[in-house]
Structure 1
Amino acid sequence: MTEAAIVASDSLWREIRSEAERAAAADPVFGKVLAGTILVHDDFAAALADLTGRRLGGSSADRARFAAFSRNAFGRAPELVEAAGHDLRAIALRDPAIAALLPPLLHFKGYVALQAWRVSNWHWRHGHVDAALLFQNEASNVLQVSIHPAASIGSSVYLDHATGIVIGANVVIGDEVTILQNVSIGRHGELPTRSPRIGRGVYIGGGATILGDISIGDFAKIGAGSVVTGDVPDGCTAVGNPARLTNCPEPASAA
């Protein structure tokens, strides 16, 4: 992690702690929860590892195991913590119902699922296949979000509502992407490399399906319930089943 990233992470943690302290002072009962989940920790990475363990683990042993897997990944790859901070700030920026950092950190399962994926992807890339698939399985069972450890996802990503999201192996998702509930993104056919590539700033509406060896261009929008099996150029909107293109910056062929 660069010096600038460390400063940003420290600033983020100070904001979270400040929010937690104010919330604890306002509600002593909730304050006890915050004391055990936020205020007891020294930094954002420790709190995030603990929260990931709490959300995925059904027993105390499982919670400890998932937290340990997360701490190991965060300690060895600080860039995961940096990306987690960007993801958290993205929620506060894009969700009109949220203006703070603490509520999505504590309560948004899409955020937890995405950080669980970041840990699973790190383990996958380092040959810890069983640990990676364990994270995927638990996130699918507990959070209803299944992201294959072999997928690639950028930062400042927001999984909004985050029920029924399925992202397959070898899918590539860029920075600043927003994905709503019941979205499926995966291959079309037998070859695993035939998976979608989602560009920067793309918005994917609820119930959309994106399949095959295709590219979704930067800042494109996929309408709710659309089925997309062809390329979508930069800035275009794809709607319908089968999807057709509209609102393109310049003439483009059908999706």
Structure 2
Amino acid sequence: MATDKDKIIAKIEEQKKNPNLKLKVKERTEYFTNLLFYTLFDTDTEVKKNIEILEQTFEELVNLACWKIEKPCSKIWQSYLEILPEILQKLNKDAEAFMQSDPSANSIEEVYLAYPGFYAIAIYRLSHELLQFGLPLIPRLMTEYSHRLTGTDINPGATIGESFFIDHGTGIVIGETAIIKNNVKIYQGVTLGGLYVARKLRNVKRHPTVEDNVTIYANATILGGKTIIGANSTIGGNAWITASVPENSIISNTLEVKIKKVI
């Protein structure tokens, strides 16, 4: 005769209807992400040895996250491996942008080791290239892991140019179809988002385009797939923008601040 516990167990098992939902893939993706970062940046990490471990781990991830019977995802690794030097070159340019933009940076080593904005960019670039090969779950898990660690939420589908600088990082959101060109600086709390959310917009550009040499200060919100921030513009803190901005513009959100001396 079934006990109350048996009935509860049976009800839980009945509701576990997704055969592909294996939380192990999340844990192994986080391990893979850390291994990638160490392989590219840590002086004491032996690249050849780690590449072999990465390949084995990636094969494990394919078995967990590529649900097509013929497993076409297994062909991705070699192609991804070939572009890792190019990704590292871009990240080194990003690190230099941090040194040039932040007066509090004492050394390039400090940027690599201590800056959450740099880490978020690194994991974005590593996940973005992997996404191009048609394996969406792993890149998304990579950037969500980075999001949890840094407070910076960059969708791996976003397109970001060279020498990107993120200061502080906390609260930044960059949507899937956002386009950010070269030499852009973004401060904490900035959102590059959509005007509204609806499933029918799945294949539509929903997020802004930011042209070259733009600076966006803290807590600015820029929305809409048709919104373009023109080159060489500066967006002030707390600005709310839903329409395009011409190049060489300065946008400010000025509020009257009253100071009263209390006697």
TM-score, normalised by the number of residues in structure 1: 0.66
1:200 has 2:200 as partner: no
Tell me the CA shift for residue 148 of structure 1: 0.8
Tell me the CA shift for residue 204 of structure 1: 0.4
* Residues 70 and 119, structure 1, Cα contact 8 Å, conserved in 2: no
Q: Following the alignment from structure 2 to structure 1, what is the Cα–Cα distance between the partners of residues 99 and 79? A: 27
Deviation string for 1:37-61 (max 9, x for gaps)? Answer: 7331467xx8xxx9xxxxxxxxxxx
1:1-255 equivalences in 2 (<5 Å)? 38-41=42-45, 73=80, 75-189=82-196, 190=198, 191=201, 192-212=204-224, 213-240=226-253
In structure 2, list runs of 5 or more residues that go unmatched.
1-40, 55-75, 255-263
For the residue of structure 1 that corresponds to 2:247, the secondary structure is coil
Deviation string for 1:71-119 (max 9, x for gaps)? Answer: 9846434221111010001111111122521101000011000010011
1:61 match: none
* Residues 182 and 208, structure 1, Cα contact 8 Å, conserved in 2: yes
Q: Following the alignment from structure 1 to structure 2, what is the Cα–Cα distance between the partners of residues 171 and 96? A: 28
Q: Which amino acid aligns with 1:194?
A: R
| Alignment CA distance shift 1:73-1:112 (3 Å) | farther
Q: Following the alignment from structure 1 to structure 2, what is the Cα–Cα distance between the partners of residues 142 and 162? A: 11
For the residue of structure 2 that corresponds to 1:185, the secondary structure is strand
User: Does 192-201 or 164-173 show the bigger shift?
Assistant: 192-201
- Percent of aligned positions with the same letter in both sequences? 27
| Alignment CA distance shift 1:153-1:205 (3 Å) | same
RMSD: 2.9
Q: Which amino acid aligns with 2:87?
A: L
Q: Following the alignment from structure 1 to structure 2, what is the Cα–Cα distance between the partners of residues 84 and 144? A: 19
Tell me the CA shift for residue 194 of structure 1: 3.0
User: Does 186-195 or 149-158 show the bigger shift?
Assistant: 186-195
Q: Following the alignment from structure 1 to structure 2, what is the Cα–Cα distance between the partners of residues 107 and 176? A: 21
Q: Which amino acid aligns with 1:119?
A: L
TM-score, normalised by the number of residues in structure 2: 0.64
In structure 1, list runs of 5 or more residues that go unmatched.
1-36, 51-68, 242-255
Q: Following the alignment from structure 2 to structure 1, what is the Cα–Cα distance between the partners of residues 253 and 77? A: 40
For the residue of structure 1 that corresponds to 2:173, the secondary structure is strand
| Alignment CA distance shift 1:74-1:219 (3 Å) | farther
Deviation string for 1:203-238 (max 9, x for gaps)? Answer: 000000000121101110110011011111111011
Q: Which runs of 4+ in 1 moved over 6 A?
A: 69-72
For the residue of structure 1 that corresponds to 2:177, the secondary structure is coil
* Residues 166 and 184, structure 1, Cα contact 8 Å, conserved in 2: yes
For the residue of structure 2 that corresponds to 1:89, the secondary structure is helix
For the residue of structure 2 that corresponds to 1:39, the secondary structure is coil
* Residues 228 and 238, structure 1, Cα contact 8 Å, conserved in 2: no
For the residue of structure 2 that corresponds to 1:80, the secondary structure is helix
Q: Following the alignment from structure 1 to structure 2, what is the Cα–Cα distance between the partners of residues 152 and 197? A: 9
Deviation string for 1:97-156 (max 9, x for gaps)? Answer: 225211010000110000100111111111111111111211122211111111000110
